[in-house]
Amino acid sequence: MTDSPSLFRYARTSPVIEDNYGALRRGKENGVFRQPCPLPAENPAVLAALESHGRVPVDGLKNGMAGSQALLSAVSVSLIILGTFLCVFTTRFGGCVAGGVIASIGIVILIVDVWSIRRRQRDVATLSEAWHNGWLRFAPAQVGGVWVSSSTRHGNQRELRDADFRYRYRALVEVHPMDGSEPFYVRTDEFDVDADREGLPYGLKMADGPLDMFEPEFSNGWTVARWVAGIPESATITTDLNVEQIKAVLRAAGIR
């Protein structure tokens, strides 16, 4: 571990609650989370670090909404109001048609956003139940070299020089549990990073090969992983914790 490691700032939040290995879904369906976890409890230092710097098990709005969902709701409502205003107060037929189109777009966005919000609130409720009964674990995680997981091409499909490429990445993460158990590895879900046309990400290091992932020169810093106790395969770094919570956990672990 380095004396002053950098913080990995990607893949931290998502409107969708990550459920690797389906552990949260199965725990809810089987009623496991309604019972206290029989495994060793969360490290007290980690618990204090999380609770003193934000909401747990996910930070954000009290109603469980993600910030992006709240913003999308505001945008959709604004479109509906604008479209309605044009329909009601515009005498020209074209203005009314434009208002109807704008309002319809707002309604569609709102419907999709409400569905997304309800799904997230349901998943946050599952996380909260698991957390209160001691089933969630949080620990420092070191992010190794990244690699291109997928790419898309936009713009001129014939002229390569006029095409716009979008790259998505994955990384291998080494999780360091705070209960004395052995470190374990997990692969991240895809995440976005600004990159050049060749796919080299700005601000991140790409490993030369799979054996180089955790060589010091390819390290991409530290973050915090979350998983269901006893199921390391469920670990994810998309925890929806805030940056101060992550820093606090790393300090509690003596890493930062």
Residue 36: burial class (beta carbons within 10 Å; 0-12, 13-18, 19+): exposed
**Residues 223 and 141 sit within 8 Å (Cβ to Cβ):** yes
pLDDT at position 2: 44
Q: Alpha-carbon distance 169 to 141, whole Å?
A: 17
What letter does residue 17 receive in the DSSP assignment? Answer: P
pLDDT per position as a tens digit, 208-221: 877 788 888 999 99
- Check pLDDT > 90 for residue 235: yes
Q: Kindly indicate the confidence band of residue 47, based on its pLDDT and cuts at 50, 70 and 90.
A: very high
Check if the beta carbon of residue 166 is closer than 8 Å to that of residue 154.
yes
Q: Give tens-digit pLDDT for 88-144.
A: 887 787 888 898 999 999 999 989 888 888 888 899 999 999 999 999 999 999 999
Position 13 pLDDT exceeds 80: yes
pTM: 0.83
- How many Cβ atoms are within 10 Å of 183's Cβ, its own excluded? 13
At 156-211, the pLDDT tens digits run: 555 555 557 889 999 999 999 998 889 999 999 999 999 988 889 999 999 887 77
Question: Is residue 155 predicted with pLDDT exceeding 90?
Answer: no
Task: Please check the confidence at residue 4 and state whether its pLDDT lies above 70.
Answer: no
pLDDT band at 63 (very low <50, low <70, confident <90, very high): low
> At 43, is the secondary structure helix, strand, or coil?
coil
